[in-house]
């Protein structure tokens, strides 16, 4: 139950890109890596994935770089997670590709995983990149504490 570090870095990179003129200014990977502190090779690998997913628009050649292909308010955290980690699937049962579950036949809880998957994905889809890139967290002042 944890996001991978690459997803974390992807959010950091996209958040930094969104702060530059709303993500419309073209920015190369090197400067963003320096600004955020993400290692350069990792940042390059991430922008490749994000460009393949259609979240950012990349331009090659001299003076190239990338920029957000959509406004930050229309990019959700679910989009970023799916771009980096692939489709959101809580268990192997959810996507039809994997059928290597030993239970599979008499599994009584398998029909319920779909609802769980939708619930988690809905929680992630409710958070936009605009919220993540904001300076002052709107809901962080009320309670920042995590329950153990």
Partner DNA sequence: TGCCAATCGGAACGATTCGATCCGATTTGA
Partner DNA sequence: TCAAATCGGATCGAATCGTTCCGATTGGCA
Distance between CA atoms of 13 and 61, rounded to whole angstroms?
Answer: 21
Interface residues toward a second copy, by CB under 8 A: 1-5, 7-8, 11-12, 15-16, 19, 36-39, 77, 81, 85, 87-92, 94-95, 102-103, 105-109, 111-112, 114-120, 122-124, 126-127, 131-135, 137, 139-140, 143-144, 146-148
Distance between CA atoms of 22 and 14, rounded to whole angstroms?
Answer: 10
34 binds, among a second copy, DNA, none (CB under 5 to 8 A by kind): none
- 31-42 burial by CB neighbour count: b if 16+ within 10 A, else e? ebbeeeebeeee
Q: How many CB atoms lie within 10 A of CB 9?
A: 20
Which listed residue (19, 20, 22, 28) binds DNA by CB under 7 A?
Answer: 28
24: contact with DNA by CB under 7 A: no
3-state secondary structure 80-95: HHHHHHCCCCCCCCCC
44: contact with DNA by CB under 7 A: yes
Distance between CA atoms of 38 and 44, rounded to whole angstroms?
Answer: 10
11 binds, among a second copy, DNA, none (CB under 5 to 8 A by kind): a second copy
Least distance CB 106 / a second copy (angstroms): 7
- Tell me which residues touch DNA (CB under 7 A): 4-6, 9, 28-30, 39, 41-42, 44-45, 47-48, 51-52, 58-66, 85
């Amino acid at each position: 139950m944890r996001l991978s570090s690459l997803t974390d870095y992807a959010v950091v990179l996209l958040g930094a890109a969104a702060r530059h003129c709303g993500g419309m200014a073209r920015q190369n990977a090197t400067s963003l890596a320096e600004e955020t502190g993400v290692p350069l090779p990792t940042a390059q690998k991430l922008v490749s994935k994000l460009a393949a997913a259609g979240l950012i628009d990349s331009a090659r050649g001299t003076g190239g770089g990338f920029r957000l292909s959509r406004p930050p308010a229309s990019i959700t955290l679910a989009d970023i997670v799916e771009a980096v980690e692939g489709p959101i699937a809580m268990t192997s049962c959810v996507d039809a590709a994997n059928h290597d579950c030993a239970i599979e036949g008499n599994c009584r809880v398998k029909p319920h995983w779909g609802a769980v998957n939708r619930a988690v994905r809905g929680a992630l889809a409710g958070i936009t990149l605009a919220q993540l890139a904001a300076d002052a967290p709107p809901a962080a002042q009320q309670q920042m504490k995590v329950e153990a």
